[in-house]
Amino acid sequence: MDKKITNHPNGLWTKDYILLLISNLLVYIAFYMLLTTLPYYVFATGGTNADVGMVTTVLAISAIVIRPFSGILLEKGDKKKLTIIGIIISILAIKSFTWAMTIMAIMAIRFVHGFGWGITTTTYGTISSDLVPMSRRGEGLGYFASSGTIAMSIGPPLGIMLIHSGNFASLFNTATIFTLVGLILIYLVNVPKIEIEVKRVPLAARLVEKTALFPSFLVLILGLTYGGITSFITLYGDEVGIANVGWFFTINAVFMFLIRPISGKVFDNKGPFWVLVPGILFSFLGVLLLSYVKSTSMLILSAIAYGIGFGTVQPSLLAWAVNMAAPERRGAANGTFFSAFDIGIGVGSAALGSLGEKMSYEMMYRLSSITVIIMLGFYLIHWYKGSSSS
């Protein structure tokens, strides 16, 4: 049951916050284990490249559909109970892959998995924002986001190692165990109870948090390039003759992890402008360098720049979205934010994939870098209007 807030007003590293970070880390590791290995499972079951794309798409669709409703339930429901429900759905889905013998079965299970994933990614972020003091929210959400970044560097190689050294059953069993431990840890977290005044608001207005729309719009644009990188960088490596493109994810994750505590403190002390402008410029540089990659060293430079940029911008936009929302609307703000990010990834993957069929991947990435500059333009216009009015 949710408990009243007992943490020191400026305390960050509480028992509950640490348990939440570890639980989030384990759930994300399991997710990333499947993200890189399910395509192998689809092909082993007789699927095609189109089927691989659909398996990714159905999860995004169900996650996007459930997130706004998760936000509504978080307004007056038990946050921990909702998180537990989401994790249980994920556990059942992951384990069910063991018995999936057809492509349709895999897609159906992945669709259900998306509901669990959409719920947990919304509730984890909301609980994190409740546990972190307002004065250290940028820093606290930066560390929280870093747990997902660490998972990104652990999950994919672990999943590939398991299917190469064992079989798909060992992969799904291991991912199930990681998620189960995450469930146990979240059960031990004392979630602060936020006293709120329940207002009668139309359902349509409750599905989306209006105060979070602008930072969510910006993260949607960021998702366009992120979707292109995660979907096509392996194929791009083949095109330019670099076999070990996995270095990009490793180096990118390391620098995302290193920059987030720093950018979080700057966000808390100086505000969004001083992290978003340099962060967006680093993101642009990372994508632009990627489009000129001809060697592993150039790939690493691109990963460093993009890691610094993405690791600065994404959690800062999340902190901004959460800070703008009323306490009872933090769940809706998280749902709005991550749904926008998912839409950006999905649209970016589809649009850039279409471009990649008509031109080289390096030209595709070069064109996608323009969207980052457009993102900077939108933010500067917003900042200028805010400065002028004040």
Identity of residue 73: L
Residue 9 host element (H or E): none
pLDDT at 181: 97
Identity of residue 145: A
List, in order, residues 6 or more apart from 318 with CB less than 8 Å away: 125, 141, 145, 215, 219, 334, 337
Q: Say if 284 falls within a structural domain.
A: yes
Same domain, yes or no: 46 and 107: yes
Q: Say if 12 falls within a structural domain.
A: yes
The whole-angstrom separation of Cα 109 and Cα 345 is 21
Per-10-residue mean pLDDT for the chain, 390 residues long?
Answer: 44 86 94 81 77 74 83 77 94 95 93 93 84 77 80 80 84 96 94 65 69 94 85 75 75 87 87 94 97 93 95 91 82 82 79 76 91 96 78
Same domain, yes or no: 273 and 305: yes
pLDDT at 387: 72
Same domain, yes or no: 21 and 99: yes
List, in order, residues 6 or more apart from 49 with CB less than 8 Å away: none
Same domain, yes or no: 279 and 142: no
Q: Are 372 and 294 in contact (CB under 8 A)?
A: no
Same domain, yes or no: 13 and 103: yes
Same domain, yes or no: 244 and 267: yes
Domain span at residue 148 reads: 1-195
Q: Final residue of a domain: which of 167, 195, 223?
A: 195
The whole-angstrom separation of Cα 218 and Cα 286 is 18
CATH of the domain at 179: 1.20.1250.20
Give start and end residues of each alpha helix (H) in the chain: 15-44, 49-76, 79-96, 103-131, 137-165, 168-187, 203-207, 213-240, 246-270, 273-290, 296-324, 330-358, 361-389
Same domain, yes or no: 257 and 380: yes
Same domain, yes or no: 157 and 16: yes
Q: Final residue of a domain: which of 135, 163, 195?
A: 195
Same domain, yes or no: 240 and 290: yes
Same domain, yes or no: 21 and 150: yes
**Domains held by the chain: number:** 2
pLDDT at 28: 93
Q: Are 168 and 98 in contact (CB under 8 A)?
A: yes
pLDDT at 219: 96
Q: Final residue of a domain: which of 195, 228, 261?
A: 195
